[in-house]
Amino acid sequence: MFVSAKKRMMKIASLLLVLPLLLVGCVGGEDTMELPTKQWGDIHVTVQTRPPKIKAGMIEFMVLAATKGRKPENELVVSLRMEGSQKWRQAIQDGFLGVYRRVVQVRDPARDVLAVKLRVKKSDKEKILYFPLALQQPTNTESE
């Protein structure tokens, strides 16, 4: 009898320790914003930003590349720059999820255009896509 009560108390204590962490994960933050999706062949490219609303300053851009209905495209080398800037900056591949990240300086969100250069690894196939920052919009989220 004493052993089962002790086990029950341990389970309850464990749940009480984990519960606040689970609840914090459910708290709504700012809406995710993204730029309109572009396509190169069968690769769909979407750009999201951190912070969600673009302002002047250093902004993290997340390039999401997927093929055939959300299958991650991870055979790319992705580089970013603001149009008019000379130097390309290679994005960091975030695992094998088809996500590439890079922080880029934004001077004027109303006029700046993000250039995204995609190059297929072990190939000479390359494409530059342009994303005007003024076209940023909230993502479609499920109704609560």
Q: How does pLDDT run across 78-134, given as a tens digit for each residue?
A: 999 999 877 999 999 999 999 999 999 999 999 999 999 999 999 999 999 999 999
Give me the sheet containing 113-120, strands edge to edge. 89-90, 76-82, 113-120, 126-132
Residue 109 burial class via C-beta count within 10 angstroms: exposed 0-12, middle 13-18, buried 19 and up: middle
pLDDT band at 144 (very low <50, low <70, confident <90, very high): very low
Q: Return the domain boundaries, the chain.
A: 33-138
Instruction: Judge whether 80 and 105 are in contact, CB under 8 Å.
Output: no
Neighbours of 82 (CB within 10 A): 18
pLDDT band at 27 (very low <50, low <70, confident <90, very high): very low
pTM, 2 dp: 0.74
* CATH number for the domain running over 33-138: 2.60.40.10
Q: How does pLDDT run across 31-66, given as a tens digit for each residue?
A: 678 899 999 999 999 999 999 999 999 999 999 999
Contacts with 74 (C-beta within 8 Å, 6 or more apart), sequence order = 65, 93, 96, 97, 98
| pLDDT at residue 69, as a whole number | 72
Distance CA 106, CA 80 (A): 12
| pLDDT at residue 19, as a whole number | 45
Phi-psi region of 15 (alpha: psi -120 to 50; beta: other; left: phi over 0): alpha
* Tokens 């902004």, located at residue: 59
| pLDDT at residue 32, as a whole number | 73
